[in-house]
Structure 1
Amino acid sequence: MIKNVPTGLAHVAIPAGDFTATVEFYKNLGFVPVVMHEFSCILENGSCRLEIYRRRVDEKPAGAIDHIALVSEDIDAAYKEIVAMGCEIVSKGIESNEMFAPKSNRFFLFLGPNNERIEFAQVSD
């Protein structure tokens, strides 16, 4: 077992065929947009967070779960442990993006035993 275990679910990512309709659907279920971009939206309902994004035509079908993101307290240490386990890293190492601005978001993606994509994410102020 790795030492830097996830501490919670960060989000579930869902590619949308109709981005606007998908966001509205989840808003009707009580989710509130907390970050909105032209191509993606983060919605929250209590401790549940969804990432809805415009589906890229050549990838997974609309509605397929793209990846499961888990919270990491020490992304650098977790990355080293996952690599040592022999998991295939499918991101460009540890990456960062501005989706959670003004907070910092560092993450990496790897494949689970069934080729499911798993993200470890560390969001900080």
Structure 2
Amino acid sequence: MTNITGMHHIAIQAKDYRATIKFYESLGLTMFHSWTLPEFNIEYAALLRIPGTSSFVEIFDKGANVAAQGRRAQDGETPVAGALLHFSFTVKDATAAYHEAIAAGAASCVPPSVLFLGEPPMTVYNSLVYGLDGEVIEFIETLPG
């Protein structure tokens, strides 16, 4: 038996806090709460809600001293890969989500495509982008059959 009831949030340390907030709002997330926490050098932090859920993307300013895995990428450096590989949003239309993210400033990672996965057989339609801070965002649409 598990005590886990869902996914609460994914946290991102933004290179440009305001641009990152605007990027996720352009994907449809909405501001839920913001705060500062000087004892952790957090000047700006916010939770953006995924509409219709109790799940969030948490955004911290670039100087915040928060728990993180791996090493932060320096300006102009390719993000350092760690154990956390990407996060995924379920979407109604993976192609539309991909193009919306690109229009909002994301870079292409994997264009929209169909995948046939495992047992029992599952067909998914997905796409991936690099967010403004180097985070890998997957958009996944489950297809019938």
The TM tier, using the shorter chain, reads 0.3 to 0.5
* TM-score of the superposed pair, with normalisation by structure 2: 0.41
Larger Rg: 2
* TM-score of the superposed pair, with normalisation by structure 1: 0.47
